Chain A
């Protein structure tokens, strides 16, 4: 563990796909031990790529960290394989609820426990997951491909939990879910952070939601971090309000504002 208490440090990384397509142009992120950090941004800003760079899954997509470094508990991990990184305790929950469709819910969880070897610890893990997600216990013998979207999301989060993570990378857990379910899942995420002491890096498009659980957030645009601050300050920031929270303080017509709005946005995009 590094002296300043950060569990993960991403130092100015640059990521290229197929050796030519520059996707991340200098991204730096720090996650405090036991903290929740949100990563906000629009589609294609590079949020998922950042997560994949950390978890090592980038190599599956012919991507590579070409510059900068990633440090986990004081150790460089950006050259390590996805399996080694998972073994160190960084588990990514891929976006889009990627359950193993043809396995049952419980078998999905057991695959999550692949890195725990003894059956006693697997049993404990299952009990823990079922205590956080009682609904999964009911559905344990059902084929994961056929349970509802919310239950699939619970399955993948539970599955990641089975891997005993120190740091969980959550990629858009709210995608395509009903508000009530989203609320439930985010509640559990904060509980996991508090009770199991799992640090969390949360990628979200839903900025309001993310800022309500994460005390600190980074904002990404076009492969760069353009802003980072505490959730409180970000909520007050006029740009964030406009672009991410969908709030404007001018109630009436905003013809001239729209022009300025466009310019402000453009500043970020360069």
Chain B
């Protein structure tokens, strides 16, 4: 029982971070219909940039903020250089371009930061876990989860209540109609990419805190794909639920199934679950089924 609760709580906390990365994914899909397969690398860049700032003595929170600025700039650059020219092209072409961007970024990352694992030194959070009742909770996980959820909430509030947030949702619904009201689609796309970069970046920085930073943080970024699909590709609450579910499943699988299927069952299980789940709910939990009025 204790083992179960431990895996559950760890799962929920990692899931919070997944939810944040998933949000970046959902955002780009919602606004432009593009499935951005370079998301894993964005996560990685966030992790490395934060780590670099941190290692030269800048406080962690400040490092994250600085990495956000880098993220925004990179997001706008990527959108302007690669994707702006592809507006109106077939979606598959655009998605393939994101695959290209993914390899390109991975190359750049290996070139700058190398391939060996780096860790945040000194550790940002105390290594000693604290206990609630009989539950031992790792401090890193706890704070990462909290930060992820706060940032997630901030993004959601942005969409619901700000002028540009509404404009982005409107563009997602009907680009032409939004344009007719003076909402600049180009600006919206650039903003979507910038925000996706920042969300992924913060997620990456937090994940990097847990396991150290190497190329595999990028794979963790990709692991979010089942979370996104599960929640419904264009649903923000879906990203949150999907993230949490995948986090929990992954940890439960790690705890209970690893004995029988030694090796990567922890990594594979979310994908297997996604496939089965989609058989029953092809739009995900809260994805848009096109509203058809009768």
Q: Which A residues are closer than 8 A to B by beta carbons? A: 55, 57, 60, 62, 82-83, 86-87, 91-94, 98-103, 107-108, 110-112, 114-115, 117, 145-146, 149, 156, 159-160, 162-163
Contact of A115 with B173 at beta-carbon distance under 8 Å, contacts A107-B166, A110-B166 already known: no
CA of A174 to CA of B178, assembled, Å: 21
With contacts A87-B182, A100-B170 known, is A146 near B177, CB below 8 A?
no
Q: List 10 A-B contacts (CB under 8 A).
A: A60-B175, A93-B180, A101-B174, A102-B173, A102-B288, A103-B169, A103-B170, A108-B170, A114-B183, A115-B182
Contact of A112 among B174, B176, B181, B288 (CB under 8 A): B181
Which A residues touch B182, using CB under 8 A?
82-83, 86-87, 91, 114-115, 163
- The interface residues of chain A lying within 8 Å CB-to-CB of B128 are none
C-alpha spacing A180/B232, complex, angstroms: 40
Partner of A60, one of B166, B179, B184: B179
Q: CA–CA, A108 to B166, complex, Å?
A: 8
Which residues of the other chain, A, contact B175 by a CB distance below 8 angstroms?
A: 60
Assuming the contacts A102-B288, A103-B173, A117-B163, asked whether A94 and B178 have C-beta atoms less than 8 A apart, the reply is no
State whether A86 touches B180 (Cβ < 8 A).
yes
Q: Is the CB of A114 within 8 A of B291?
A: no
Tell whether, in the assembled complex, residue A57 and residue B288 are in contact, meaning their CB atoms are under 8 Å apart. no
Count, chain B residues at interface, CB 8 A: 22
Q: How far in angstroms is the closest Cβ of chain A from B177?
A: 4
Main secondary structure of the interface of A (DSSP, over half): helix
Contact status B167-A146, CB under 8 Å: no
Tell me whether B293 is interfacial, beta carbon within 8 Å.
Answer: yes
Confirm or deny: B88 has a beta carbon within 8 angstroms of a beta carbon on chain A: yes
B170 touches A111 (CB 8 A): yes
Bound CA span A86–B174, Å: 16
The 8 A-B pairs of least Cβ separation, nearest first, read A86-B182, A100-B173, A145-B291, A98-B177, A111-B170, A115-B182, A100-B170, A92-B180
User: Known contacts being A83-B183, A100-B173, A101-B173, is A111 close to B291, with CB within 8 Å?
Assistant: no
State whether A114 touches B88 (Cβ < 8 A).
no
Closest Cβ–Cβ distance, residue B77 to chain A (whole Å): 22
Which B residue sits closest to A82, measured CB to CB? B179
Complex Cα distance, B292 from A145, in Å, reads 9
B-side contacts of A83, CB under 8 Å: 179, 182-184
